[in-house]
Every structure is written in C-alpha cells, then in structure tokens.
Amino acid sequence: MADSLILELADFVHDIHTGIYSEETGQPQPLKFTVQVKFKVADHYDADTPLDASKNYMDLKFACSEALGDTHYKLIEAVADHVCETLFLQDSRVEQVSVKIVKLALSEADEQIGITLTRDRR
C-alpha cells in the first residue's frame, strides 16, 4: 500500500459573495470550508525535516479567503473550483484537493447543506 499525506483545514468560516437569489446577492454570506489536500509524501519525516518538505497549512486557509477576493460566485461549486485551482497552482506536489462547503445561512436546525468537490490534478 502506498503512503499518503493528507493536509486538512476543517470548519473554517469565511464570508463570500455567492448566490443567485436576490436575498443572497446583496451581501457576503458565511460559508464553512473543510479542505483536504493529498500531497506528495516525502520518503521520511524526522524532527529536523524543514517546512519545504510539506506545505504550509496557511495556504489552505488563504485559498478559502483572500484568494477568492471580492468576486461574486453564483454557485458554491465555482467557489470550490477556485479553491482547488488555487491550491494546484501554489504547489506542483498537490495531487488531489477535496473542498466541502456548507452554506451556513441556509441552516434552520443545525443541518449542514452544501457540496463537496474532489478534483485530481490534471
């Protein structure tokens, strides 16, 4: 069985301009992101392994916040796609990205309504 390294950002909430209905489009709405990145694993990690043998976890947070900018995304699928592409562009060792987005404004009883997009490097 092959080794794998999965980096994760879980339950990160950020306001994004998204939606197609008039009640959604006037202001940003909170989205909850969970991002998993399958990363090319090093042969070995020890106590002195430098950061460049992995990926800075803050890059995952950046892809779900500042990298999205002030663009209005009609669909959260487009938000997830942008997050995937940002992470692929940042580092050629990223092999796969999975982005789960929950639209918090839709929740009426703490249910989680959203999507998960998983994309392999092409």
More confident residue, 37 or 26: 37
| Domain with 96 in it | 5-44+52-120
Q: Are 37 and 107 in contact (CB under 8 A)?
A: no
The string of pLDDT tens digits covering residues 47-79 is 999 998 999 999 999 999 999 999 999 999 999
Domains in the chain: how many in total?
Answer: 1
The pTM of this model reads: 0.92
Bridge partners of 73, per DSSP, are 18
Task: Decide if pLDDT at 93 tops 80.
Answer: yes
CATH number for the domain spanning 109: value is 3.30.1130.10
> Which two tokens mark 65?
């916040």
Three-class secondary structure of residue 22 per DSSP: helix
The answer to whether the Cα torsion of 93, 72, 101, 61 is positive or negative is positive
